[in-house]
Structure 1
Amino acid sequence: MNDCGEKLLIIDYNLSRVEEVAHMRDYARRRFNVGTVLVRGNPGAKDERLCDHLVGVDPLSPSFVAQAYDALANWRDHIRGGIVFSDNAVQSGAALLERIGLKVDSSSLALGAFSKFEYRHAEARCRDLLKSQRVMTPDCTLIRSMTDLRQFASTHPEGFVIKPSCEGNNRGVVMMRPGDSLEAALEELSPYLAAGVICEQVIPYQREYSFDGLGGLSFITEKVSVSGRYPVEVAQVLPAPLVHSEQETIRRAGECANWLVGQRDGPFHNEIKLSDDGRYAAVVEPNRRPAGMKIWTLAATVYGVDFYHLWIDSVLGEGSIPSTLMASCQAATVMLGVKQDRWFEAPDVTRGKTMFLTTLSRTAKRFGLPEGSLRSIDFSWIGPEHRFVPSVARDNSDFVGCACVSLYDSSVNIGDIVASVREYWADELESGMPADAVARDAEDRARTLA
């Protein structure tokens, strides 16, 4: 690699996605012989190992563009292309790339891909246009006090959703039903009030999907969530089991969202609900970044296309995007939890992979699957720290692991595979934990009760 030569600029990323950053860095080095410059707030040792050059500037700082532009002085003339890889940087990062003179999707419209409230404002401005495409636009308001909350509740007695305006991973999302305590809900959301909390009309559609892709290349993923007060995602399924007319409904809604947030050439992950008859849709939220929960990893297995490679190709000015995608199998990401409330510290990854392979073996046996038709794509623990994990998750941090599987047998629905995997995993984890971990859990339980 020519260290004094051309660079790829990466603007921010979430720590849970370090492997994906490394994957793109390695591809850029191998394919284009370029080094990497990473810009992110409060960088640490892991960031230093991840890139060739590191700039510490917070993308949420009001002066981010000016500070980062100055800090990049030594490399600006050598930056060949750049990507923005976090929600926090979606607007400021795009503005920085524009100032440097690099190709990037609109910064002026990008705020709608960060703030749920700003996106609902954008929808309201285009309500008639969206209605013509059978896209519902939910009522939405920003709340700052109990008075605001009571007023919205009075106009939506059937229930509503309260959630942070700028937060991902289903964190802080609370479903309010008739009779629920407004005071308790506001207290639960109090950590988010300073950054903004919104109330939103309940979207009356049960099925949820995401419209994912890069540039004009798209695919649809089915989201599997639990019902109840905390609608946490427990799985993603690809390809989504939809008829053609349902796919078209989601595509229209997803493309409308892309127009509103200024997406053109870059990645997108738009969460969308679909009516029972498949004719109407509503956007839950748009994102101008690759999907989480390893959806692009699933796409690489199902379609044989590495979207991370395509993204780097698109910003460095080489390569072409396929015009169509053909599925060769089914695949799913599965969030792995615990059987009962417990304190937990992840053992080594090898032990986790062994337990997961046993889980898959039991699942394959349950459904009578031939050998090799149910395969493990990926397994990882979520967070190395010693922490309390509830059996009923409130957000995606309340799981202990995340895994991806592929299914090469069309006689079985992968949704049934997902349910079985989550059941057997909880059993395997309970029986597979070492004695010292079980003892430590008991001590922590006793200490908590005391």
Structure 2
Amino acid sequence: MHAAGVLGLPFVVKPADGAGSAGITVVTSPDQTEAAWRAARTAQVMYGLPRDPRVLAQDHVPGDEFSVESFTQHGATTHLCITRKHTTDGAHRVELGHTLPARLPTATERALFEQTERAITAVGVRNGATHTELILNSDGRCSVLEIGARLGAGHIGVLIQHALGIDPWRALWDIALGQPASLIPATRGYATARFLTSPRAGRLAAVTGLPPVTPTVPAAHIRAAAGTHVGPATSNRGRLGHVIVTGPDPRTVDDQADQILRQITVTVTPGSGT
């Protein structure tokens, strides 16, 4: 926030309550503000949440986006890993993938964990999972965007199972029952989830080129039915499906995921769909 509470450009307009990046706009000029406000007010509510009519305007924090996946039991927190986010640019910042654990310099990891610890303490979480989203800017400063008292969505729990050999849902049950949670990695691998989106608006005709399921590609799934109206993703609802890739090396995992995405074709025809 700038002097006298005035926001500078760019800034972010978003619903006061919501999920899945719905209704969020990065405003880069004053004439975009009204449309951004309307997008926040009319964003489709996800997960059956009640609609909150309020709209937030906040500073835009530039940098690379990460999340920290943590478990807290009796006030003591264990950070399982840092997740690197793959996001779109432009007015709408939609998450197109997650890779974990992120390989970062030790000082960077420490800074992200310290900020996450402060956020968990500030909101008063003493038992349960937390998913803390942060921005790391070019000078190494990290800022907390938000914290969720839950497992990370977007298949992050599944990625933790594949990469670290930890069952996060079992850990949640153990914490709820007051039993010691097993949070020590059984494996030291890497995993990424990449989401498929439409290149343009229209009716989904077909998705071809999906890879077969193998030990290193344990999931390749399309959730959008043929004939569905689709368009360039402006929220997580715009995801058509996902692919998960695992392996012992982070660069190999990311390279394989990128190659798979290049082989998949999303065919869209004109029309409003169903």
Length-normalised TM-score, structure 2: 0.83
Matched, 1:313 2:174: yes
Partner of 1:375: 216
Question: 2-side partners of 1:202 and 1:409: how far apart?
Answer: 33
Aligned Cα root-mean-square deviation (Å): 2.9
Map of 2:85 onto structure 1:
223
User: Any idea what SS the aligned residue of 1:259 has?
Assistant: helix
Q: Return the alpha-carbon distance in structure 2 between the equivalents of residues 195 and 386 of structure 1.
A: 32
Which structure has the higher relative contact order (CA within 8 Å, separation 6+)? 2
**Percent identity (aligned):** 22
The 3-state SS of whatever aligns with 1:376 is: coil
- The CA deviation at 1:320 is 3.6
Give the SS at the match of 1:397. Answer: helix
Indicate which of 412, 424, 440 corresponds to 2:263.
424
Provide the residue aligned with 1:337 in structure 2.
Answer: 197
Q: Deviations over 1:239-297 (max 9, x none)?
A: 1121111011100111111112221220100101112232x211111100110011111
- Choose 1 or 2 for highest CA Rg: 1
2:172 is aligned with what amino acid? W
Kindly provide the amino acid, as one letter, of the partner of residue 211 in structure 1: V
CA displacement at 1:409 relative to structure 2:
4.3
Displacement, 1:339? 3.8
Please tell me whether the aligned partners of residues 7 and 58 of structure 2 are also in contact (alpha carbons under 8 angstroms): no
| 2:14 matched residue in structure 1 | 163
| Structure 2 portions without partners, runs of 5+ | 44-50
2:136 matched residue in structure 1: 274
Does residue 1:396 correspond to 2:231, yes or no? no
Cα shift at 1:198: 0.2
Instruction: Give the corresponding residue for 2:61.
Output: 203
Alignment CA distance shift 1:257-1:384 (3 Å): farther
Q: Could you tell me whether the CA contact under 8 Å between 2:222 and 2:242 is conserved in 1?
A: yes
1:41-190, aligned counterparts within 5 Å? 139=1, 155-190=6-41
| Matches of 1:338 and 1:415, distance apart in 2 | 21
Structure number with higher helix proportion: 1
Find the aligned partners of 2:107 and 2:33 in 1 and give their Cα distance: 40
State the Cα distance separating 1:376 from its structure 2 match: 1.4
Deviation of 1:328 after TM superposition, in Å, equals 2.4
TM-aligned CA deviation for residue 169 of structure 1: 0.7
Q: Which residue of 2 aligns with 1:257?
A: 119
More strand by share: 2
Q: Relative to structure 1, is the Cα distance of residues 270 and 413 closer, same or farther in structure 2, using a 3 angstrom cutoff?
A: same
Distance 2:146 2:259 in 1: 29
* Contact 1:330-1:414 at 8 Å conserved across structures: yes
Q: Could you state the TM-score of these two structures normalised by the residue count of structure 1? A: 0.53
